[in-house]
Amino acid sequence: TQRGLSASDAAVAHGVSAVTARKWLARFLTDGAAGLADKSSRPAKSPRAIRPNIALAIVELRRKLFTQSLIATYLGVSKATVSRVLRRAGLSRFSDLAPVEAVQRYEREAPGDLLHIDIKKLGRFSDVG
């Protein structure tokens, strides 16, 4: 290193392993200070990722009310894959397919124009207790 320390000595001084220190040194020598910046750990390629056309087919079949098992069998993919795609699309449950009914609101021009009372009608009691 520039201070005359070995990679092992520099690692001990900074509380990291010697392997990490050598890796950082190699990055610094090839890319300079930019090589030491944090990088994304996301893989550049995902060869086993599901193809977009299959994901679209899964969603379309779900909209036609196919079950997850039936979709998996029909398309030749695993149930876990179907479940993962449907979860991302927000369609895991059949109830997710139904449109949400709007709440009926009763609004009036001024406060007090509409009074809402919840009551429970009870029968008459002739005896106490």
Q: Is the pLDDT of residue 17 over 60?
A: yes
Q: What is the pLDDT of residues 46-105, one digit of tens each?
A: 888 999 999 999 999 999 999 999 999 999 999 999 999 999 999 999 988 888 888 888
Q: Is 9 exposed, middle or buried (0-12, 13-18, 19+ CB in 10 A)?
A: middle
pTM for the structure as a whole:
0.52
The residue count for the chain: 129
> Averaged over 100-113, what is the pLDDT?
84
Residue 58 vs residues 52, 66, 93, 96: alpha-carbon distances, Å:
10, 9, 14, 15
